[in-house]
Amino acid sequence: MATVTYDKATRIYPKATKPSVDKLDLEIADGEFLVLVGPSGSGKSTALRMLAGLEETNEGRIFIGDRDVTDVSPKDRDIAMVFQNYALYPHMTVRENMGFALKIAGMDKDEINRRVEEAAKTLDLTEYLDRKPKALSGGQRQRVAMGRAIVREPQVFLMDEPLSNLDAKLRVQTRTQIASLQRRMGVTTIYVTHDQTEALTMGDRIAVLNFGVLQQVGTPRELYEQPQNVFVAGFIGSPAMNLSTFNVEGNVATLGEASIPLAEEHVAAMTAEDNNQIILGFRPEALTVVDSSTQHTVPVEVDFTEELGSDSYVYGSLVGGQWREEGSDDAAAGQIVVRVAPMSGYKKGDVIHVTINEGGLHAFSKSTGKRI
């Protein structure tokens, strides 16, 4: 087991004008499950491949434990990687696939069998050891790929979107298996995904990347409840946080027919560069439907209601228009999402008034995008 440290690690691809990973400073504790998350092109897979030695580190250093592995070849880094596409040998059985790396390393046959059977038992693969990959389901193949990593007993596991090829139900099932397995084994694990639901449910901590720059790192709860900038606020959470720019008049933020009272510290933190504007965010579950006579509400005209059994989500537009989803290039008015009681019966064209629950309002600087 070992810690992992990125010390201002930078990767610039040939002919690229900007780094794919830009001065990444990140420490992963011994035995921690850290999830690297971000949209496509954010640099998360590049950061993982830099640690694996599959991509060159142009600047900065990478440590596994106290050992600088920046210029060490991949085979000498004592890591094991699980890829998105399984990468199994089709002509080999499950047993042979799982033990192949150990065989190449010249390990004793009895020790190989012991490790393979132990890993197979952990992953519920014992009855499939003599099958070939074509006779397995997608989830079973992914478990074989994990078993191949486990038998090597590395210091660090690297997982690059290992669930992307699975159907929705199997993804949920497999992600719980991976998380519980990692906690049982206690091996330092770095897991890359673009799916923020996976990140929130699996990781001890989450590191959010965008355009190669680390935006925030913290526990799932910290990122959900205290996003440090507009990007993290809009990226973490499903459905996403409602975010838009409001005009500030005194201690009240207004947009269309919406008005939201602001705390004194939010107003005091505004600067001249903000031009009397503020970005406000509130999650769907932080809203309460109130009577239309209530002061300071956000009136929403219902477009449609999504019934999920235990929850219902109302998708609508701001009465009076002007709502623009922050971070979106779309000039059209964005949607506001409200979580309501199941089977509430709201129909297209209905107007509901909502207020923001105490502690549910997130405020960000218009000029910097940072939390205030």
pLDDT interval class at 1 (50, 70, 90): low
Helix 168-185 to helix 138-150 angle (10° resolution) is 20
- φ, ψ for residue 80, nearest 5 deg: -135, 135
| DSSP-assigned states of every residue in 130-170 | TS-GGGS-HHHHHHHHHHHHHTT--SEEEEESTTTTS-HHH
pLDDT at 329: 60
What average pLDDT does the segment 118-132 reach? 92
Q: Locate tokens 């500030």: which residue?
A: 248
What is residue 232's predicted lDDT score, i.e. its pLDDT? 96
The predicted-structure confidence for 221-279, as pLDDT tens digits, reads as follows 999 999 999 999 999 998 999 999 999 999 999 999 999 999 999 999 999 999 999 99
Residues 353 and 294 sit within 8 Å (Cβ to Cβ): yes
Q: Binning pLDDT at 50, 70 and 90, where does residue 99 land? A: very high
- Would you state the pLDDT for residue 139? 85
The CA distance from 248 to 231, in Å, is 22
For residue range 144-165, what is the model confidence (pLDDT) as tens digits? 998 999 999 899 999 999 888 7
Q: How many helices (H) and strands (E) does the chain have?
A: 9, 20
Locate the domains of the chain by residue range: 4-228, 239-365
User: Same CATH topology for 4-228 and 239-365?
Assistant: no
Task: Bin 233: left if φ > 0, else alpha if -120 < ψ < 50, else beta.
Answer: alpha
* Nearest residue to 56 (alpha-carbon basis) of 74, 38, 40: 74
Can you name the CATH fold of 239-365? Answer: OB fold (Dihydrolipoamide Acetyltransferase, E2P) (2.40.50)
Q: Cα-flanking dihedrals φ and ψ of residue 332, to 5°? A: -70, 155
pLDDT score, position 242: 96
The CATH code for residues 4-228 is 3.40.50.300
Question: Alpha-carbon distance 250 to 308, whole Å?
Answer: 40
- Residues near 345 by beta carbon (within 8 Å), at least 6 away in sequence: none
Task: Kindly report the average pLDDT of the chain as a whole number.
Answer: 93
Look up residue 283 and give its two tokens. Answer: 């999650």
Q: How far apart are CA 69 and CA 62, in angstroms?
A: 6
Burial 137-157 (b: 16+ CB within 10 A, else e): eebbbbbbbbbbbbbbebbbb
Least confidently predicted of 11-25, 58-72, 174-188, 236-250? 174-188
